[in-house]
């Protein structure tokens, strides 16, 4: 468990908080490219790390991200005119470019140089993988984009979406670091299988080891990119089944896939503020372009789960996540349909920020414990002037998670290394 002070330290992400300062050292997903497709299109509200911002695509095609409140008298730039490579406040006409410079001040005399003294807070943006990334850190310490596998693929191979999770980023992220919960939360009613865990591979059906062994032995290994969380389950007389999930700094989670799979992707748990986060779900197929629109299974699944015109799940706390008690009795362990809704029901039910002073962690929580310690230590290190290594070394993100059978006598840390390498 954590004390209240420790919990506040690791969960609070606003400006001038230790964890907020740490996250600002990294490029972070801010919004989807699809939200700002059109040059001179409508501005978009963005809340990121406790700041209210406005995104817009300029006439030239660049994406800007500036403070919501106009530096003049605080009116919202969301209502602004996006025109001629700048965003103009409609209150008095002040106009700002993507660097935050005031380029026009029409309510002041023509001879005035006042506009040259006015700047809006603005953050640099880059686009990759269907996502607009922003850097909110010090300009003299430029970070590198993480070299995640799917970011190195053609856009036709990549699919990105996002969903709102109305809770603190950490409890949402910790769900992805928790290997044992799949044997229960995502299981059938009699726990004979994990829903969706078995799939055809080379004509055979991979057994659901998740369901067979609900008490995996968890090992956590510290790395340059974050933490490797290894879950070892009983398989057969000769082998263990290892599920190797990855936590990548500062808030990415990659869940194990089969050896040789051409899939790649991760979840990015991006804090909006202390009690809300976005999950950017990023996936790709390395071997071939993804089907477009409704032919894309993931896109179709996301659309069916989401309230039209929003990035919110249909199943929510206010409707008890559409729980079906008959389904719970006869079909699945929770009575809640869909892995995403099942996960959200658990993490949102903990409250906006989970009170970790009241929790009781066990051996299955080793990955969660390690991630909390690493985040806390890195934030303390930053306060002491030590910059996060991964933020300036994007190549450390060249890894992929895997689930595989290993001989019981194998030295697992050595045996897994070849499997963690990306395919591209």
Summarised one tens digit per residue, pLDDT across range 127-146 is: 999 999 999 999 999 899 99
Give me the CATH topology for the region 28-135.
Answer: Rieske Iron-sulfur Protein (2.102.10)
Nearest to 253 by CA among 262, 244, 261: 244
Angle between helices 4-11 and 169-176 (to 10 degrees): 90
What string of DSSP letters covers 45-66?
Answer: EEEETTEEEEEEE-TTS-EEEE
pLDDT score of 308: 86
Which sign does the torsion angle of CA 339, 345, 346, 348 carry? Answer: positive
Rounded to two decimals, the pTM is 0.92
C-alpha 23/C-alpha 383 separation (Å) is 13
Alpha-carbon distance of 361 to 255, in angstroms, equals 21
Contact 315, 345 (CB under 8 A): yes
Position with higher pLDDT, 169 vs 424: 169
CA 367 to chain centre: 17
Where does CATH 2.102.10.10 sit in the chain? 28-135
Q: What is the per-residue pLDDT for 31? A: 98
Mean pLDDT of 277-301: 80
Task: Please give the share of the chain, as a percent, with pLDDT higher than 90.
Answer: 78
For 294, the 3-state DSSP assignment is: helix
**228 with 397: CB under 8 angstroms?**
no
- In the chain the first and final C-alpha atoms are separated, in Å, by 40
Residue with more model confidence, 336 or 308: 336
Q: How confident is the model over 371-381, as pLDDT tens digits?
A: 999 999 999 99
Intervals of CATH 3.90.380 along the chain: 149-420
In 4-50, DSSP assigns E strands to 27-32, 44-48
Backbone angles phi, psi at 249, to 5 degrees: -60, 140
Q: Count CB-CB contacts under 10 A for residue 255.
A: 17
DSSP tag of 175 = H
Measured in degrees and rounded to the nearest 5, phi and psi for residue 318 equal -70, -20
> 364 vs 220, 356, 369, CA distance in Å?
10, 16, 10
Of 174, 337, 201, the residue nearest 267 (C-alpha): 174
Q: Looking at the predicted structure, is the pLDDT value of residue 402 above 80? A: yes
Q: For residue 238, what pLDDT is reported?
A: 93
Question: For the chain, what's the residue count?
Answer: 424
What's the mean pLDDT in 187-199? 71
pLDDT of 301 reads 66
Which pLDDT does position 236 carry in this prediction?
A: 87
d(CA 264, CA 275): 29
Residue-wise DSSP of 315-376: S-GGGGGG--HHHHHHTBSSS--SHHHHHHHHHHTT-SS--GGG----GGGHHHHHHHHHHH
Q: What does the pLDDT read at residue 55?
A: 98
pLDDT higher than threshold 80 for residue 210: no
What is d(CA 216, CA 230) in angstroms, rounded to the nearest whole number? 9
- State yes or no: pLDDT of 334 exceeds 90: yes
26 by DSSP, 3-state: which?
coil
Residue 41: predicted pLDDT:
98
The candidate with the shortest Cα–Cα distance to 65, out of 131, 14, 12, 113, is 131
- The sign of the dihedral angle between the CA atoms of 390, 396, 400, 401 is negative
SS3 98: coil
Per-residue pLDDT at 205:
37
Q: What is the mean pLDDT of residues 3-28?
A: 97
User: What value does the mean pLDDT take over residues 238-243?
Assistant: 92
The mean pLDDT of the chain is: 92
Nearest to 15, CA basis, from 41, 47, 37, 44: 47
Confidence of residue 201 (pLDDT cuts 50, 70, 90): very low
**3-state class (DSSP) for residue 25:** coil
Q: Is residue 35 predicted with pLDDT exceeding 60?
A: yes
Looking at the predicted structure, is the pLDDT value of residue 199 above 60? Answer: no
Q: Tell me which residue of 26, 258, 263, 200 sits closest to 126, measured CA to CA.
A: 26
Please name the residues in contact with 421: beta carbons below 8 A apart, sequence gap of 6 or more: 398, 399, 400
Which of 185-189, 200-204, 370-374, 395-399 is least confident? 200-204
Residue 51 has pLDDT above 80, yes or no: yes
CA gap 402, 416 in Å, rounded:
9
Task: Quote the pLDDT of residue 202.
Answer: 40
CATH code for the domain defined by 149-420: 3.90.380
Q: Could you write out the DSSP letters of every residue in 72-140?
A: TT--BGGGSEEETTEEE-TTT--EE-TT-BEEE-TTS-TT--GGGG-B--B--EEEETTEEEEE-S-TT
Q: Is 79 helix (H, G, I), strand (E, B) or coil?
A: helix
Average pLDDT of span 250-269:
91
pLDDT at 192 > cutoff 90: no
Least confident range from 46-60, 280-294, 370-384: namely 280-294
**312-339: average pLDDT:** 94
| Region 64-91 average pLDDT | 98
């Amino acid at each position: 468990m954590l004390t209240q002070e420790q919990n506040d330290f690791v969960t609070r992400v606003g400006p001038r908080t230790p964890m907020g300062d740490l996250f600002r050292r990294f490029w972070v997903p801010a919004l989807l490219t699809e939200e700002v497709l059109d040059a001179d299109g409508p501005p978009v509200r963005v809340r990121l790390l406790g700041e209210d911002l406005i995104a817009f695509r300029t006439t030239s095609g660049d994406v800007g991200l500036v403070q919501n409140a106009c530096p003049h008298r605080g009116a919202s730039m969301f209502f602004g005119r996006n025109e001629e490579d700048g965003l103009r406040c409609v209150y008095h006409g002040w106009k700002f470019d993507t660097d935050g410079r005031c380029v026009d001040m029409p309510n002041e005399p023509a001879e005035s140089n006042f506009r040259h003294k006015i700047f809006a807070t603005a953050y640099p943006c880059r686009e990759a993988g269907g996502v607009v990334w922003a850097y909110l850190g010090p300009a003299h310490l430029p970070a590198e984009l993480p070299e995640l596998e799917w970011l190195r693929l053609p856009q036709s191979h990549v699919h990105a979406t996002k969903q709102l999770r109305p809770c603190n980023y950490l409890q949402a992220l910790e769900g992805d670091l928790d290997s044992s919960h799949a044997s229960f939360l995502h299981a059938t009613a009699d726990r004979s299988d994990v829903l969706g865990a078995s799939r055809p591979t080379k004509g055979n059906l991979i057994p659901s080891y998740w369901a067979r062994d609900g008490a995996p032995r968890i090992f956590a290994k510290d790395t340059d990119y974050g933490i490797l969380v290894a879950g070892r389950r009983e398989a057969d007389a000769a082998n263990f089944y290892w599920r190797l999930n990855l936590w990548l700094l500062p808030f990415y989670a990659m869940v194990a896939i089969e050896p040789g799979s051409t899939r790649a992707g991760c979840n990015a748990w991006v804090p909006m503020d202390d009690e809300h986060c976005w999950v950017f779900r990023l996936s790709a197929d390395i071997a071939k372009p993804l089907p477009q629109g409704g032919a894309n299974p993931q896109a179709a699944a996301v659309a069916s789960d989401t309230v039209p015109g929003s990035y919110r799940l249909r199943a929510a706390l206010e409707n008890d996540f559409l729980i079906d008690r008959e389904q719970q009795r006869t079909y699945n362990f929770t009575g809640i349909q869909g892995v995403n809704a099942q996960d959200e029901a658990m993490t949102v039910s903990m409250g906006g920020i989970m009170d970790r002073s009241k929790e009781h962690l066990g051996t299955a929580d080793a990955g969660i414990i390690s991630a909390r310690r690493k985040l806390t230590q890195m934030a303390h290190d930053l306060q002491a002037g030590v910059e996060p290594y991964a933020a300036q070394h994007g190549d450390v993100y060249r890894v992929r998670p895997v689930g595989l059978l290993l001989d019981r006598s194998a030295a697992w840390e050595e045996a897994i290394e070849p499997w963690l390498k990306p395919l591209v």
